[in-house]
Structure 1
């Protein structure tokens, strides 16, 4: 039986988000906010790949870390240090692997907030950009996305001088936040495509084995 999505530690990176929709930006704030969001979106769209380290904090204050690789559109990999967990998106599916238990869980990328992070471009339509704030330290963009699966929410934070991505926060279906901070980032690097390969044949064989073993 598939384990509950929200129960997996790694799913702060991949879980479907809260269904509560955010209100659009007030009309008076839309023009300057849109200009800032456009500048960030143009830079972010120009970065096709990146690698680095990550530090993750969940709603309970638990901390984990590891390495990541991203190739947009649609591909990401997170390897957790000291834990048998990895998260892989290949452009279509998100796979959560527990190497110790030799288990895999698959979810459509379109149902996760990572689709907002991994899209070819940030969608600047009013329905997607829910809030834009700028301080001397960070530019914060809150994005929502409505689909047949409900509403998604991700908060991304960028350097105000370089527009480089610094961290993001995901709100899960229980209203709990998980923040991922990235550093030692290298942009525009060549990433081995094998990093994003999901072993569908192996997963299918394991699924058949579990079904057969339950008879």
Structure 2
């Protein structure tokens, strides 16, 4: 991945739990109609295939919420299905996907929210292969300096979509944006990325004992 300097990357702002749910690990209700099928240009499929071939990556990120709030931190991805976001202080948040579930944890309050991975748009980002020939493709746009691929599945997470933005020359992922049912965007820009790294399996372990043992309503 290309190293990228992001202004104000060290100015984290604590976002609410709802914004984490709607943004980083959006969980959407079902809707009736499938997305139309787009004919994917060959170049766009090549980019998607290149991204899918990267089995592990780690780096830094800056997340921009729908109201302009900004957080940063480090991320780890292992395909298929695994992801971890460690947010910088003062944010107490963690996001972990172990391939089956996604949890959003507040380390300060010791609270966790659990969602099936396949009910979130993150499942498309973390899939074994992004197939632009299937009905999950909402749109493909190719420009001189950017290739944008919009993915979604109304039968699973309603009108929520995930937009992937790639460098058309290097095939590197620059950013993704999750748009919720209220058309609010949460964007994640990644930089200082390393591909093909060896990641300890414990990075993606969800503390299920804490998740299921937490106190509710107290």
TM-score, shorter chain, exceeding 0.5: yes
Contact map agreement 2:96 2:204 (CA 8 A) in 1: yes
Higher relative contact order (CA 8 A, sep 6+): 2
Could you tell me how far apart the structure 1 residues matched to 2:67 and 2:182 are? 13
Match of 2:19 among 6, 9, 22: 9
Larger Rg belongs to: 1
TM-fit CA distance, 1:124? 2.0
Match of 2:58 among 45, 48, 51: 51
Matching of residue 94 in structure 1 with residue 110 in structure 2: no
* Structure 1 residues 135 and 148, CA gap change in structure 2 (3 angstroms): closer
Q: TM-score, normalised by structure 2?
A: 0.83
Contact map agreement 1:17 1:171 (CA 8 A) in 2: no
* Structure 1 residues 19 and 149, CA gap change in structure 2 (3 angstroms): closer
TM-fit CA distance, 1:123? 2.3
Q: Residue 24 of structure 1 aligns with which residue?
A: 36
Q: Which has the higher helix share?
A: 1
Secondary structure at the counterpart of residue 8 of structure 1: helix
Q: Residue 185 of structure 2 aligns with which residue?
A: 177
Matching of residue 78 in structure 1 with residue 85 in structure 2: yes
Could you tell me how far apart the structure 2 residues matched to 1:38 and 1:175 are? 26
Q: Residue 121 of structure 1 aligns with which residue?
A: 129
Superposed structure 1 runs of 4+ greater than 6 Å apart: 18-22
TM-fit CA distance, 1:34? 2.5
Match of 1:37 among 30, 40, 44: 44
Match of 2:207 among 184, 195, 199: 199
Q: Residue 11 of structure 2 aligns with which residue?
A: none
Contact map agreement 2:82 2:96 (CA 8 A) in 1: yes
* Structure 1 residues 165 and 22, CA gap change in structure 2 (3 angstroms): farther
Q: In angstroms, what is the RMSD of aligned CA positions?
A: 2.2
* Structure 1 residues 25 and 147, CA gap change in structure 2 (3 angstroms): closer
**Gap regions ≥5 residues in structure 1:** 1-5
Matches within 5 A, 1:153-164: 153-164=161-172
Q: TM-score, normalised by structure 1?
A: 0.85
Cα deviation per residue 1:180-209 (whole Å; 9 max; x = unaligned)?
1000000111111111001112222225xx
